[in-house]
């Protein structure tokens, strides 16, 4: 998972950063609050439009490998009417999951229970075989549901896994457009609804920086003086949480993502 952005200056190291009085700070903060409230209301309106999208009935039967045996997409709802799927970048022959996807997944601890008590199931899906998923999950200490789509079309139909031909042509469909994805796996979220008759509908998907809303660390960094302090993407600094000390010594990046 990567999120591209323009380089940002570091205000902490900027000798020109303005120093003001408490009164100046208060007046500037009140003016900023007006913009922050407008931004929040705009977000509320975007959420309304997101919910108003037309739904697409899922007619294909998708089967996943899970620790409890094979399950269909409908089974993943676990008796609830809403399902959030996180498309985690973990290719069939990868040794470990993507650093960025792992960063996002670290934030799911404690959240799934609240979702489940609000009629929402959450499941992570990867293209890797279940045995590799389970080994990596154990290493990371995660407890959320994580299943394998290996051998099926789910990842390809929802445009997060790509064939060698698509990669060679540099014309794969990702984030709602044809583009050179550069790697056989990408990330995103897809949302589904299951009605009283058992019919399943695809209601929403987001990819790329659309996933950032699920990363609470960024929300905290965005209120600090240095901000995110990235030059190109999260792989500037994010590591698997159990590899930070190792990365400081070696300067290593994301082996899975090739970064």
Query: What mean pLDDT comes out for the span 82-90?
Result: 98
Band the pLDDT of 5: cuts 50, 70, 90.
low
The neighbour count for residue 141, using CB atoms within 10 Å, is 10
**pLDDT for res 188:** 98
**pLDDT for res 248:** 57
Band the pLDDT of 133: cuts 50, 70, 90.
very high
Going through the chain in order, the beta strands assigned E by DSSP cover 56-57, 63-66, 69-72, 82-87, 120-126, 146-148, 172-174, 177-179, 188-194, 200-207
**pLDDT for res 177:** 97
**Helical H runs in 52-170?**
99-105, 112-116, 130-140, 154-157, 164-169
d(CA 119, CA 20): 49
Query: What mean pLDDT comes out for the span 230-252?
Result: 79
DSSP character string of 64-88: EEETTEEEETTGGGTT-SEEEEEE-
Query: What mean pLDDT comes out for the span 153-171?
Result: 97
Band the pLDDT of 233: cuts 50, 70, 90.
confident
Band the pLDDT of 252: cuts 50, 70, 90.
very low
Task: Provide the 3-class DSSP secondary structure of residue 207.
Answer: strand
Q: Which residues contact 200 (CB under 8 A, 6 or more apart)?
A: 57, 58, 73, 74, 77, 192, 193, 194
Query: What mean pLDDT comes out for the span 202-208?
Result: 98
**pLDDT for res 258:** 45
The neighbour count for residue 191, using CB atoms within 10 Å, is 19
**pLDDT for res 232:** 81
């Amino acid at each position: 998972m990567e999120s591209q952005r323009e380089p940002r200056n570091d205000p902490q190291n900027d000798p020109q950063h303005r120093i003001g009085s408490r009164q100046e700070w208060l007046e500037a903060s009140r003016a900023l609050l007006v913009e922050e409230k407008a931004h929040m209301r705009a977000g509320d309106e975007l959420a309304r439009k997101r919910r108003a999208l037309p739904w697409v009935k899922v007619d294909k039967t998708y089967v996943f490998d899970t620790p409890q045996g094979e399950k269909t997409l409908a089974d993943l709802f676990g008796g609830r009417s809403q399902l959030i799927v996180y498309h985690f970048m973990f290719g069939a022959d990868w040794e470990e999951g993507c650093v960025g996807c792992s960063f996002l997944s670290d934030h799911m601890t404690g959240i799934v229970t609240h979702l489940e008590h609000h009629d929402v199931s959450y499941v992570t899906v990867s293209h890797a075989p279940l045995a590799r998923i389970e080994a990596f999950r154990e290493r990371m200490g995660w407890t959320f549901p994580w299943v394998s789509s290996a051998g099926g079309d789910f990842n390809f139909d929802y445009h997060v896994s790509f064939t060698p031909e698509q990669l060679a042509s540099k014309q794969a469909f990702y984030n709602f457009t044809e583009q050179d994805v550069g790697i056989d796996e990408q990330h995103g979220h897809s949302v589904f609804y299951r009605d009283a008759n058992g019919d399943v509908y695809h209601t929403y998907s987001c990819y790329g920086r659309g996933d950032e809303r699920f990363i609470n660390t960024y929300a905290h960094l965005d209120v600090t003086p240095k901000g995110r302090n990235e030059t190109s993407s999260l792989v500037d600094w994010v590591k698997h949480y159990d590899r930070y000390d190792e990365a400081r010594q070696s300067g290593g990046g994301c082996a899975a993502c090739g970064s």
